[in-house]
Structure 1
Amino acid sequence: MNQQIADIALMMVLPLGITFTAILMSVSADTRTQKMLGVFLSILIVAMDCIFYFAKNSFITYNCDGGLLLSFASLFFFAIISFIRFEDRAAKAGNIFLAFFMLSAFMGIAYWDRPTFIPTSDYTAAELAAMNSQYQDYIASFENGEGGKILPNKSRTSAKAASSVASAQKNREDGSLSRMESYLVDAETVIKRMTDIINAIDNFEPLASNISEAEREQRSSQALAINNNAVALNKKVLGLFHPHESSEAHTELIQASECVRLAAYALYSYTLQENPEQQLILYRQSRDQIAQMKIYLKRFWNATEVLQSNNQQQTEQ
């Protein structure tokens, strides 16, 4: 839970807080020139936010490091706005120092610390998205009570993902693998994880009517681990890099992962519920979400088949 709060703070609260503060400072400037310059710089900050939130893994990697990088860049422009806004020499000197410090921090993360800034990274956006998924798996291991350890099935998944990335890189060097094919390799890894979670839900035996408190606590811990895996999977799908032409297909994949998350959450709520009628409702909700997930996955595969067919026809022409 603490890690999820930190994720929200670094990826949502801090960047957006800086953006709204910069906009308010711009519109409250004294002169028209200050307002115009402030508005221009505020538009740049909003543009960076839009790229980070709506074009995930296309410019800055969509993770906590990317949120920190976005915050440093936003604070740089915020310091420039403050320099323009205030007349006091001490305030101007302080804001120049802040701008220099934020620019140095931005350059340090972008070039020397982590491959967060895609245009300056040695990795492609698809490879960075794969790194994001492994990072999220590592964080999920703490949420599952594994203390940073990776379960055997996760090891196989991570090994398969690493193998897929290495194979994709080799094929890209040969010029034989398109962006769409690379995306499908990543999508297959995600769907494999979906299948593992669904199998875990299917194999979760119903609670006995005379279950003891100790056994209920044990079963609820198992359901919580499944729920945490589903939450991590949903984050991974949201940050998965995909070509522009596959946006509609990717939406179906996101819906499928959302159904898995809701199914796992209903299962966890089922283990905490003592009322038999409410238990039945939650259990049915879990099963209904699984059925809905299969529908979205079918739509996803149909959409990707159409895209592959169109790409093949264009290549032949």
Structure 2
Amino acid sequence: MTPLSTTISQKRVLLVKPIEGSKPDRSHFRTVSVTEPVPELVDNAVLVKNLIFSLDPYVKPADYTAIDGSPVVGFGIATVVKSKNDEFPVGAILFGPLHWEEYTVLDQMALAEGFRLDQALDRDVPLSVYNGILGLTGLTVWDSLNFVGNLKAGETIYISSAAGTLGQLAGQLAKRKGLRVIGSAGSDEKVAFLKSELGFDGAFNYKTQDKRQALTELVGEKGLDIYYDLVMDDTLDVALELLNAHGRIIGIGALSVHQGQAPYAPKNLMALIEKSLRYEGYMVYERFDQLEAFWKELTPLVKSGEIKSGETLVQGSIEDLTETYLKFLNGGYTGKVNIEVAKN
């Protein structure tokens, strides 16, 4: 590893204005060039070189009190180049919350939102996969289905936004458990992918088909047992109508909110009582103790191809982050979207 000099010259993406409550566009971001001294680290902090950014529906400012000019924070993979933390020595590879820039300082609080990768990496698996199906998104799906879903063979699960990384894996894991799997996606191409490549039992295009009619027809007389909600829109009302007694809604994502819509409030919540339904949200950050079991089960399945992982890996730079992110939000890619800005 090349030693650091006394200064760092790098590109950095900044937020110009808040994006909550509006759909992000180019006017929300600007990219700047900076030259700064190599930072002095406080105890338990590290300086990392950012390698591969994960593009996810949510990003946030590094400083909520000063939005204008605050760095953008997403997630990704990086390598440690300077350390005052024994658990993350120089050369360690980690997944964590990274600023959209070439080098980032992570303090102890930021490191608690991530985890070390190099001790678990399988060298036969591309590093970018640990941003997706073998990373935080994969753990989210695997653990939420096990911990909250209580899946039973013969049940029917419906997955919204099913062509994304979370939805793809949820469908495949549910199929392996013997469930009937229905999904929705935003293009005919993605719908075909779900059925022909991933083995979904049914799927529909939510942009061109009436959601209530399409889902009702696909669910049929058996009814719905689990709604795996990645969107948080008016589909909730449809699901509440179709769910069987003791059905479950697993709240995982809010894609509609990240696309500028107001959070949706279901109108028929009485169904929760009338049908003894369970509606439970899930956050993965309390469940990192499951990583070892997750990797033990999923890594062989990913390597063998039994679990398919659709991915778009964009080769680019920090200057490409904004455009790639906006294209991702508008449905321009299938599967997990990563952008590689540097090699390890």
Same fold? TM cut 0.5:
no
Higher strand share: 2
Q: Radius of gyration: which is bigger? A: 1
Give the TM-score taking structure 1 as reference length.
0.29
Higher helix share: 1
Give the TM-score taking structure 2 as reference length.
0.27
* Relative contact order, higher structure (CA 8 A, sep 6+): 2
